[in-house]
Amino acid sequence: MRKIILAFDGIHYSESSFDFAKRLNEINPILLTGVFLPQTSYANIWSYADGVGAPMFVPAIEDAEIDLIEKNIQKFETACQRNGIEYRTHKDFNDLALPELKKESRFADLMIIGSERFYENMGVGDPNNYLKEAIHNIECCVIVVPEKYKFPDVNILAYDGSESAVFAIKQFAYLLPEFSGNATLLTYANLEGEVNLPNEAYIEELTGRHFPDLTVSKLDIDSKKYFSTWVADKKTAIVVAGAFSRSAFSQFFNKSFVRDIIKQHNVPVFIGHK
């Protein structure tokens, strides 16, 4: 049984995230942990990590926010009971939001986050700063789910020959074996003039063992410009991508096709973390 975290900022409840977890539980039972985080100041989101550098003043949580968090916790618990899901609820009414989420992720197999609802009124950009920081700093793999989606029956394995891409593909296979029977596209985009699939025999041996219905295709497109557009036509897909090294994280969201796929809110994205 896998332990899966559903991460909510307390006042925004992502129906799609719960639905995704519910569908997984219907196939193979899971332990679902709901983590409800308060609103917070973006300037302080990581200042409490490991107890270092805490600011002198921690903003108090308003009573109205506490009431909303309590209602969402009740909604989560009722939905779990109704759907026969084993669950836990973790709530921390303080300003330790994302550092607490990082700690939770260390003891989980997988995290699910709603791409549109997670701190939707905070931060700047799309994906917003909170979502980008969460994906960067958590210590397990993550699935980012839009509010409107179709449960995947197609896997798109985004392969660029990198270590992180291979790691993500393996983690996807290990953590979500229920998707192994899906039609699977191992896609290699044309990057920097490369013609051949890097380590083609090796990646085909690996993916072919986990995904019997496998098609290998090289996309003759500029992935940075057009890959997200190509994915947008695959309405029932899940995209599998590596998170790159932490030192290259700025590239991950500033230059990567993954940012654009999340921004479009069309399909779930599985991101592999080491």
The reply to whether 89 falls in a domain is yes
Place of tokens 């995209």: 239
182 pLDDT exceeds 80? yes
176 and 250 in a single domain? The answer is: yes
* CA dist 254 → 115, 132, 224, 259, 261 (Å): 17, 11, 10, 7, 12
123 pLDDT exceeds 70? no
Among residues 145, 134, 168, which one has the least CA distance to residue 244? 168
Measured between alpha carbons, how far is 134 from 118 in angstroms, rounded to an integer?
10
Residue type, 143: I
124 pLDDT exceeds 70? no
62 and 83 in a single domain? The answer is: yes
pTM of the predicted protein model: 0.83
Q: Give percent above pLDDT 70 in the chain.
A: 70
Residue type, 58: V
Domain ranges, residue 27: 2-145
What is the residue-averaged pLDDT of the chain? 78
Domain end point (choices 118, 145, 172): 145
First to last CA, the chain: 21
Structure tokens of 104? 């939770």
**What's the pLDDT score for residue 137?**
78
* For range 143-159, the mean pLDDT: 92
Structure tokens of 247? 């030192």
* For range 26-36, the mean pLDDT: 94
pLDDT digits (tens, 9 = 90+) for 208-227: 999 999 999 887 665 556 67
177 and 139 in a single domain? The answer is: no
* For range 72-82, the mean pLDDT: 96
Collapsing DSSP to helix, strand or coil, 180 comes out as: coil
| H/E element, 173 | helix 163-175
* For range 251-256, the mean pLDDT: 47
Which sign does the torsion angle of CA 206, 175, 183, 162 carry? negative
**What's the pLDDT score for residue 180?**
96
Domain count along the chain: 2
**What's the pLDDT score for residue 48?**
44
Confidence label for 235 from pLDDT (cuts 50, 70 and 90): confident
Confidence label for 12 from pLDDT (cuts 50, 70 and 90): confident
**What's the pLDDT score for residue 61?**
54
Q: Which of 50-64, 143-157, 186-200 has the lowest mean pLDDT?
A: 50-64
Residue scoring higher pLDDT (142 or 10): 142
The reply to whether 103 falls in a domain is yes
165 and 262 in a single domain? The answer is: yes
190 and 124 in a single domain? The answer is: no
The reply to whether 274 falls in a domain is no
**What's the pLDDT score for residue 164?**
87
22 and 124 in a single domain? The answer is: yes
73 and 124 in a single domain? The answer is: yes
Measured between alpha carbons, how far is 158 from 239 in angstroms, rounded to an integer?
7
**Could you write out the DSSP letters of every residue in 192-243?**
TT--SPTTHHHHHHHHHHH-SSEEEEEEEEEHHHHHHHHHHT-TTEEEEEE-
Measured between alpha carbons, how far is 72 from 6 in angstroms, rounded to an integer?
12
